[in-house]
Structure 1
């Protein structure tokens, strides 16, 4: 029966692993398509900005330049992240995804700051802008950015790397909207300062999203607890819900890439507890109730190595007294890892 249970668990794990791989493969292709669309139109928009004298078009072309590079990095992060674990990288290269997301957030800050500076210079000394050609290029850019956004929108938005890619395309889309609005105002009124004003406004709006992205990615890189998980609540839940658990301590919770959650802990077992059975129950509870699919659990037999508790535990299937006599003088701990 135990063999069947273990086999069933492996089948479930393999199915989930394959499902995640398929999703990651789709996201990888989505990012590559968006990168190609962005890079292709970036050249057109830069030429349009130079010919019309529009800062809004040049600003959006600048966005698209950095976005092309960032989307390329995002694609490469998906590519490397799909590689299996090795002796050197025992968790694989999944951590590259939040690293690229963090870099993308910083890139948006830099480009946005440059646009705000240029907008201030243009506002102080307004220059003439060709509204008609600017409107045409802006509409073309909007169409390309909408296409790229729709491609990415169907991806996994819980993935930090995908969030960074969507944020970049959103910036381009807003830049195209600003260029169109500025062109319409210029054609209707001839008021050229609207061009730098709208460019700066788009950059300020992007700063908010860039801050959220870098904050979330930084939390992952610093191995902080995911926002959706509370370590102390999880420990209390395990003590209350899992039969045979005396207490949980020295618990750490973190995320590998913003999606895969991990945990380590010491679990002290009640007198006569079945170490193997209790450990299995803890893992099942972590996965089903808290979304933690990888846990390293140190179970204590007798007194914990850190001094917690002082009682006897049973080896699986044996009475507490007999098990204690067998393990006494040898080892009093067992580490289980998945």
Structure 2
């Protein structure tokens, strides 16, 4: 365990540094956007606000994920990271809507923009984003959904700053102010794309979806094929907790010479072929009476109560 701990400690410090950089520059961009009258800067600042929120949630998630499991939370609080990513994605979508709304207002009533001042702030914002992105990208050797989410934010933000710089240059050289809302819309589209991907991924995990790269039917066939004593695999539940796959399954086996050795082989097989470290295997010698091992809803649950009396 020592190994992964130093890792999340490194992640934590990087996240904290990136959070501070982002928060300071967000304030600078809000002030700059208001003083220069630039929507692209304000869009970028709004974006930086979600960045800061994303980083803060990622920080809290890393903090909670390192807490030990207990009787009330047998998986620890690993799910918090997924929940944070989910909330994060929703926040991004809301911000996008606000930017689009404001851009539409600007097309109808163009406002003067101070190009030179806008350029200075935009360049500073770009440098801040580069710094945050470097900090985060360095720390995500392990595919942590939150560090990834935070890096995605910062990357989108980088493009936002580039957009603001481009808009400032165009305004300085041609005086054409509508470029400002146009580029803020472009930023919005980029943000929306990453938000949607994140929303889908975290929602799937919250609904106990199976890991996208694992096929349950294939896994059942592979187990029966590769371990001769295994006759039948059923009642498989496979889900993710904090990006770690967890499985429970029933398996009908030919009565083995050594029960525990067979169990070990099944566990090793799951670990080796599917990277599943947490498996619960129920071994049976007779074929399982279906009613007893399916997740039952409604009236069959009622029958159960009678069976067991």
TM-score (norm 1): 0.83
Matches within 5 A, 1:95-110: 95-110=79-94
What is the match of residue 31 of structure 2?
47
Cα deviations by residue, 1:53-72 (Å, 9 ceiling, x for unpaired): 00011111111123212211
2:182 to 191, 197, 213: 197
1:224 to 209, 218, 227: 209
Q: What is the SS of the residue equivalent to 1:292?
A: coil
Matches within 5 A, 1:87-236: 87-156=71-140, 158-236=143-221
What is the match of residue 251 of structure 1?
236
State the distance in 2 between where 1:307 and 1:36 align. Answer: 56
**Deviation of the 1:50 alpha carbon:** 0.8
State the distance in 2 between where 1:217 and 1:235 align. Answer: 26
| 1:65 aligned onto 2:54 | no
Identify the structure with bigger relative contact order (alpha carbons < 8 Å, sequence gap 6+).
2
Assess if the C-alpha contact under 8 Å between 1:243 and 1:278 holds in 2: no
Q: CA RMSD in A?
A: 1.5
Matches within 5 A, 1:9-24: 17-24=1-8
| 1:85 aligned onto 2:69 | yes
Moved over 6 A (4+): none
Cα deviations by residue, 1:205-251 (Å, 9 ceiling, x for unpaired): 11111100110011111110011111111111111112311111111
Corresponding residue pairs, total: 291
Assess if the C-alpha contact under 8 Å between 2:53 and 2:88 holds in 1: no
**Deviation of the 1:262 alpha carbon:** 0.7
**Deviation of the 1:272 alpha carbon:** 3.9
Structure label with greater radius of gyration: 1
State the distance in 1 between where 2:289 and 2:136 align. Answer: 50
State the distance in 1 between where 2:103 and 2:182 align. Answer: 7
Structure 1 unaligned regions, length at least 5:
1-16, 309-338
Cα deviations by residue, 1:8-48 (Å, 9 ceiling, x for unpaired): xxxxxxxxx33332322222222111111000111111111
**Deviation of the 1:302 alpha carbon:** 3.2
What is the match of residue 276 of structure 1?
260
Assess if the C-alpha contact under 8 Å between 2:32 and 2:118 holds in 1: yes
Structure 2 unaligned regions, length at least 5:
293-309
State the distance in 1 between where 2:291 and 2:252 align. Answer: 11
Q: What is the SS of the residue equivalent to 1:197?
A: helix
TM-score (norm 2): 0.91
**Deviation of the 1:305 alpha carbon:** 5.0
